[in-house]
Amino acid sequence: MNKVILSVALSAISFFSFAQPSAQFSTDKFENFTLHTYASFDPMADVSFIVETDKKLVVIEPQVFTNNIEEFVQYTQQLGKPIEKVLVSFHALGLKVYENEDKVIPRPMEAFMQSEAAKGMIEFFGKKYNNSIDTEVVKFDEVVEATTMFNVDGVSYRLEPTSMPGMPGVNIAIDDKVYYQHFSPSKEFHASYHMIKKKASIDGALMDLAKAKQAGYTLLLGSHGFGKATAADLDFQITYFKKMKQLVADSADAEIFVKNMNTEYPDLQGQEDLTIIAKNLYQ
């Protein structure tokens, strides 16, 4: 596995290096659906979602660790409704259990899963976790464009290409009420270094956040950590990235950049992320 693949793989296993809470489910009720969020707090801090309507379920972003797959599937079964679709954006493993369900993936992500980079990461994860994760790449029932729209039991799903450079997944608008992105905003943490790989990443993040702000979303979802964010988190992160962009231009090197960011945001958690972001921006 080359250095680039190894770097990506190693970064993916360190989202939450501090003490992690136990896995937890939470629900948010809307007029036409109930959103169930499963924050696994596994080594990759993966988050999965279930959209429940009167008659059907849609799963978004599956789990990958076998014990979390079991817990998530059991919860889903207790809802007593059939799964209409399993929708993948960025997490395309952990799908073997959905043998009879309609599995959907955007075309850019499907292409990525066939790449040598993806194969290298999957091999790495399998060895790292002693085969405690489902690394099988399944055949998808639907490979859709990154601008696809569909409706399940009265709830609409609109896929949108992410503005983040090099990211093959999609953003997802759920019934124009909830907005999914790979990374949900937070007013308590620095941005993830998996998110900000270069200066263009800041612009991409701002573009996606601006779309969510303009649309008026008050609940934002992400595939890692706690998985949910509010409008206050969104507003904070827009200001945060604008300040980051300014400080990158004003700071002579990575060390000065980190110092200036800490002066602006002394109480944010995630110092390791900030340090690696600085290295990414000044390499």
What confidence tens digit (pLDDT) does each residue in 240-277 have?
Answer: 999 999 999 999 999 999 999 999 999 999 999 999 99
Q: How many domains does the chain have?
A: 2
pLDDT per residue over 149-164, tens digit each?
999 999 999 999 999 9
Q: What is the pLDDT of residues 16-59, one digit of tens each?
A: 444 467 889 999 999 999 999 999 999 889 999 999 999 999 99
**Assigned domain for 172 exists:** no
pLDDT of the residue at 9? 47
Query: What pTM was computed for the model?
Result: 0.91
- β-pair partners for 27: 36
Q: Is residue 160 part of a domain?
A: no
Q: Please indicate, yes or no, whether residues 56 and 130 belong to a single structural domain of this protein.
A: yes
CATH of the domain at 48: 3.60.15.10
> Considering only CA atoms, which of 185, 173, 155 is closest in space to residue 51?
155
Query: CB of 65 within 8 A of CB of 133?
Result: yes
Q: In what order do the strands lie in the sheet with 142-144?
A: 24-29, 34-39, 47-52, 57-60, 83-87, 103-106, 142-144
SS3 123: helix
Which residues on neighbouring strands pair with residue 229, listed in sequence order? Answer: 220
Domain that holds residue 122: 1-145
Q: How confident is the model at residue 7, as a pLDDT?
A: 44
